[in-house]
Structure 1
Amino acid sequence: MSDNLTQPQGTVGKRIRNSLIAFAAIALSVSLFLGLQTPTESASLDGQAESAVPLEVALNNGKPTLMEFYANWCTSCQAMAKDLQELKQDYGSDVNFVMLNVDNSKWLPEILRYRVDGIPHFVYLNRQGDAIAQTLGEQPHSVLQADLEALIANAPLPYANATGKTSEFNAQGQSPSSSDPRSHGAQVQ
């Protein structure tokens, strides 16, 4: 009979141990899941796009404009997100910051008009809404800052038509060298 009394206590002990292990596994899984949910640069691009000046407003409010063509999958766009956010904080009262996502077909007329074939693609518009310069690809903070200061002063942009690292893009939303726009020009084997 003493074996019968010991057996249930052992079973209770195993159940408690297994319950603790299961609880720890669930807690660890939840912690890991929540840890992976931290904001990324891509989310930062979305946030910046939401707070950007709408194109129609920018074309009619008498302020010069920096228009960025971007995509969330564009690593160059993500790399520049922090710099652009800082520049927007510094110059946002003097310059319109407009963001147009190339994955949104709504912007196809602008994509074609400004001949966007790589991103990020920046178009500088004067106070009348006329394009006066374009730059393509990643640009250092100092280059963007110098161009913005010249734009505000209605002076020639010192780094107009500069080219940096880009992600290829065409109006169909596909990289010319691949069917996957996230390949950034890599050849598919």
Structure 2
Amino acid sequence: MSEIVNANRIRNTIIAFAAIALSIAIFFGFQTQTGSVSLEAQAKESTPIEVAMKNGKPTLTEFYADWCTSCQAMAPELAQLKQKYGDSVNFVMLNVDNNKWLPEILRYRVDGIPHFVFIDDQGKAIAQTIGEQPPSVMEANLNALIDHETLPYAASTGQTSELKPTNNPTTDPRSHSSQLPHAEV
């Protein structure tokens, strides 16, 4: 009988240690997840477009949406680029779901996201890229932007998320109505 009691104690001790280890792993897993780079946090820290157009620095403008998986995938890489180039380049983020940015959405013909517009230090748009871009491509373009050179990957298109039309296509310019030209997919 004492062997059964001892076996039960050993089993219960192992279960308790496993539960503690699992609880610790879950706790640290959630800590890592909340520490990741979010689009919302980056947008709050980005340079306002009004400031970027007047401060004499080149600008990288990103059109994004919180639901865009490509935008989410690029967020950590763009945060690193912002740390590296933030003194030389304005990083502007405009959420396509915010009607406030409708004039810019129309001006730059944003029809897929992420959509990046490279703007020189005089406020002139000189290149655009659409979709998920490798960090090396973004970095090469930023270096060229800073050096007043032709961007090597200005016409590149990566994986995109299409803008989703609302229920009323006649009043929403993002609906891709007949007034706005769009590319065939």
Give how far 1:170 is off: 5.5
Indicate yes or no: 2:52 matched with 1:66.
no
Partner of residue 158 from structure 1, selected from 146, 149, 152: 152
Give how far 1:113 is off: 0.7
Instruction: Specify the alignment match of 1:39 in structure 2.
Output: 34
CA distance in 2 between partners of 1:105 and 1:174 (Å)? 10
Q: What's the TM-score, normalizing by structure 2? A: 0.72
Instruction: Specify the alignment match of 2:13 in structure 1.
Output: none
Give how far 1:44 is off: 1.1
1:119-165 deviation digits (Å, cap 9, x = unpaired): 00000000111100000000000000000000000000000021000
Q: What's the TM-score, normalizing by structure 1? A: 0.70
Q: Which residue type is aligned with residue 65 of structure 2?
A: A
Give how far 1:88 is off: 0.2
Instruction: Specify the alignment match of 1:143 in structure 2.
Output: 137
Q: Structure 2: which 5+ residue stretches go unaligned?
A: 1-22, 167-171, 176-185
CA distance in 1 between partners of 2:96 and 2:41 (Å)? 16
Whether the 8 Å CA contact 2:111–2:174 is kept in 1: the answer is no
Percent of residue pairs identical: 63
CA distance in 2 between partners of 1:105 and 1:156 (Å)? 32
Q: Structure 1: which 5+ residue stretches go unaligned?
A: 1-27, 177-189
Distance 1:175 1:67, change over 3 A: closer
Indicate yes or no: 2:105 matched with 1:111.
yes
Instruction: Specify the alignment match of 1:48 in structure 2.
Output: 42
Whether the 8 Å CA contact 1:108–1:171 is kept in 2: the answer is no
CA distance in 2 between partners of 1:55 and 1:171 (Å)? 25
Give how far 1:175 is off: 8.8
Give how far 1:174 is off: 10
Which is greater in Rg? 1
Give how far 1:39 is off: 2.2
Whether the 8 Å CA contact 2:70–2:159 is kept in 1: the answer is yes
Q: Which residue type is aligned with residue 49 of structure 1?
A: A
CA distance in 2 between partners of 1:118 and 1:40 (Å)? 28
